Amino acid sequence: MTKVQSIRSEYGEQFRDVVKGYAKMGYSRTFAAQILGISLSYFRQLCSRFDLHRYFRPQSEMVPESRGVGRPNCKGWPKGKPRVKPCKYSDEELLTMLRRHPDLTYHAFSGLAPVSAATIQRRFGSWSRAKELSHGRT
């Protein structure tokens, strides 16, 4: 028994009428295919064969539950809205952090400070260079 035949026997209606019903209720092709237990690519082929694409609404008019079925709760970032960027520290702020803990090693500093010791190392070239600068600017 094919998928179309099993859907016919389950719903007691023609396959075409079942799909039209879901389309008129505002469901998407993806959602309808999942409900019927058919892969999306095969469902699209069936919609083309039975000329059912025209019954589906545009995405803006679909039922909210059927939109974004593939990625629930994932809407992405709104277009044109600026993203919050991570905090960037000035050279002086980084050196001030080093002055607060002058005796800490590279690894010990990483555990205590809000910024990674690797950030300081990259910014000043080396950990020892950053330590020299922090003592020289006081």
pLDDT tens per residue across span 84-98 = 777 788 888 888 888
pTM over 0.75: no
**pLDDT given at position 51:** 93
Mean pLDDT of the chain: 85
What is the C-alpha separation between 35 and 84, in angstroms, rounded? 39
User: How does pLDDT run across 20-33, given as a tens digit for each residue?
Assistant: 999 999 999 999 99
Q: How far is CA 33 from the centre of its chain?
A: 23
Mean predicted confidence (pLDDT) in 1-27: 91
User: How does pLDDT run across 115-138, given as a tens digit for each residue?
Assistant: 888 888 888 999 889 888 888 744
Task: List Cβ neighbours of 59 (8 Å cut-off, separation of 6 or more).
Answer: 28, 67
Q: Between residues 76 and 120, which one has the greater pLDDT?
A: 120
Q: Looking up tokens 């990674």, which residue turns up?
A: 116
